Structure 1
C-alpha cells in the first residue's frame, strides 16, 4: 500500500471514531470516551424527541383543536330557532340550537358533528335544512371542546355524556316523539355507544363512524399529517393518559343495539374500512350499510345530496320499524 493510501485509510478510520490519527498514534482514552458520550447523548436526545416529545405534542394538540365557530345561517334561522344549554354530568356546559321547534310528526332528529367540526358545519346545515323542510324538528349541538360548548374534547368517550344530556333535554321537550341520532365521524361513534344503553333513542344513523379510538388515531394522524401511523399510536397512548379515557372506546365494543341502525360508508374513507362498517351494522338485527361510491370521510351528504340522504334514512327507519315492531 502506498504511503498516500495508508494515510488516507488511517484518516478515514479516525473520522469514524476508532481512535487513529496520523500514522499509528492513538487518541487518548479520555477523548474517545468523550466522543462516545456525545454520540450517546445525541442518540438519546433523538429518541426522546421521536418517542416522547413529538407524540406528546401531537396528543395535546389533538385534545385542543382549533374551534369551529357555530353561527347559524339565515336559511336555517328563518325556519324558527330556539337556543338551549344543558350541563353534562361532569359539569361541562353544552350549547345547541333547535331548528323548526314547532315541527310536527313522530320523529325528532339530533345531529351530532364530527371531531374538529361543530353544529353549523356545512354538512350539518345542509342536512338540517332538508329535514326541517320536511317538517321535522332538528336539534344541533356542539360537543365539548367544540363550537360554543365548554370543556375539552376526548374524541368520543366523554362526549357520550354530552349526547345523553341532550337526549334527556329533547325527550322532555318533545314527549312522545321518537328520537333519531344522526352522527358523523366521532359523532357517529358516540351516537352508537349512547343509543346502546339509552331506551329514549329510537334509531341511529352513523355516517363514517370509527371502529375504536385505538384504530382511528393512527389512521387519522397518518391521513392528516406527514407523520407515520406509529407516531399516531404513541400519540393515542399519551392522549388517553392525558384525558383519562380508554382507547378501547368505540362501536366495536357495543354488544348489541336493539334498534334501527343505518351506517353510511364512503368508498374512499381512509378512517373506516368496509369490513368495519359491516361489523358495526351487524350490532343491530336491523342494521344495514349504505355504500357511497367515490366519497371520502364524511362526504356522503354532499355526494348523495341532502334529499337522497334523507330518503335513505327514512326508508331504513320505515323498513326496520316493520321488522322490529
Structure 2
C-alpha cells in the first residue's frame, strides 16, 4: 500500500507543478509575437501611434483614401505582427474603406507586454474608439482572425459596429485548453476570450468563415458560436481549407466586398 500512496503523491505533485507552470507561462503559450525594431519601415501604409492610459505606445498601420465610405479594423492572430497582417489583408487595401491594422503589446513595434485579458480588451477598445470618433460606429467593419476573434467579438458585444467578421474563431480559449488539458482547472486561465458569450450579446450582425479541415480550431467551435445567436450569425463553411488558409480564402474577400458595398 505504501507504493500506491507514494505513486499518488508523485502524481499529485506533478499535477500541481503542471498547473503552476501553465499559469506562470501561459502568455508564452498563447501569444507568439514577432517584434520589429523601432526603425523598421513598412513598405506600404501610413504608420501612427496610439498611447494607452498606462503610457504604452501601440503601432497602427493604416491605408486611407480621400473619400472613404467607412473603415475596417483588423485584429490579427497570435503570431506575427502588422507585417504579416499586410499580407493577410492585401485585398482590402484598395477599396472604398480605410483599413487599420494594429499590433498588440509586444507585437511588431508596439511596446509593453500582454498581462491580462482586460488589458487586451482595453487596448482594442482604444483603437476602436479612435476610429469611431472619426468615422462613426455605423461605418466600422470589424475583422478578427484566429486569436483576434476574441477581441473582435468583445468589441461587437460592447460597442455598435456595422458588422463583425470572425475568421477561424474558437469557442473560447478555455475550450481550446480543454481539447488537450481537460484535467487542468479552467480558473488558471487569465485569458478565457469567450467568443460564444460575446457573440450571444453582440450588437451587430456577425459573419463567420471557418475551414472544414482546420486542424487547430475545430469547425464545430464555429457552429457553437453560431448557435449562441442564430438569428444574427451567418456561418460560411470553407471547403478543403485549413486554419491558415481561411484568412487567405477567396471567399473572405468576397464577403468583405459585399459588406463594403452595403
In 2, are the aligned partners of 1:184 and 1:207 still within 8 Å (CA)? yes
Please show how residues 1-325 of structure 1 align to structure 2 within 5 Å: 36=2, 40-41=5-6, 43-49=8-14, 51-64=15-28, 65-70=31-36, 77-78=43-44, 80-87=45-52, 91=54, 93=56, 95-121=58-84, 124-147=85-108, 148-154=110-116, 156=117, 158-174=119-135, 178-199=139-160, 201-219=161-179, 222=180, 229-230=181-182, 233-234=184-185, 236-238=186-188, 240=189, 243=190, 247=192, 249-254=193-198, 255-281=200-226, 283=229, 285-302=231-248, 304-305=249-250, 308-316=251-259, 318=261
Shift of 1:55: 3.0
Shift of 1:56: 2.2
> Structure 2 regions of 5+ residues with no counterpart?
none
Rounded to whole Å, the distance in 2 between the matches of 1:216 and 1:106 is: 37
In 1, are the aligned partners of 2:32 and 2:79 still within 8 Å (CA)? yes
Q: Quick one: structure 1 residues 297 and 149, their matched pair in 2 at CA, closer, same or farther if it must change by over 3 Å? A: farther
Rounded to whole Å, the distance in 1 between the matches of 2:173 and 2:232 is: 25
Rounded to whole Å, the distance in 1 between the matches of 2:203 and 2:230 is: 6
Shift of 1:253: 1.5
Q: Secondary structure at the match of 1:295?
A: coil
Q: Secondary structure at the match of 1:211?
A: coil
Rounded to whole Å, the distance in 2 between the matches of 1:62 and 1:145 is: 15
Q: Secondary structure at the match of 2:78?
A: coil
Rounded to whole Å, the distance in 1 between the matches of 2:177 and 2:95 is: 37
Q: Quick one: structure 1 residues 274 and 43, their matched pair in 2 at CA, closer, same or farther if it must change by over 3 Å? A: closer
Q: Deviations over 1:138-183 (max 9, x none)?
A: 11112235442423254x5542212111011122344587111110
Q: How high is the TM-score relative to the length of structure 1? A: 0.67
Shift of 1:77: 3.0
RMSD over aligned CA atoms reads: 3.1
> Structure 1 regions of 5+ residues with no counterpart?
1-16, 18-35, 223-228
Rounded to whole Å, the distance in 1 between the matches of 2:17 and 2:155 is: 34
State the aligned residue count.
Answer: 256
Shift of 1:198: 0.6
Shift of 1:310: 1.7
In 1, are the aligned partners of 2:71 and 2:97 still within 8 Å (CA)? yes
Which has the greater radius of gyration? 1
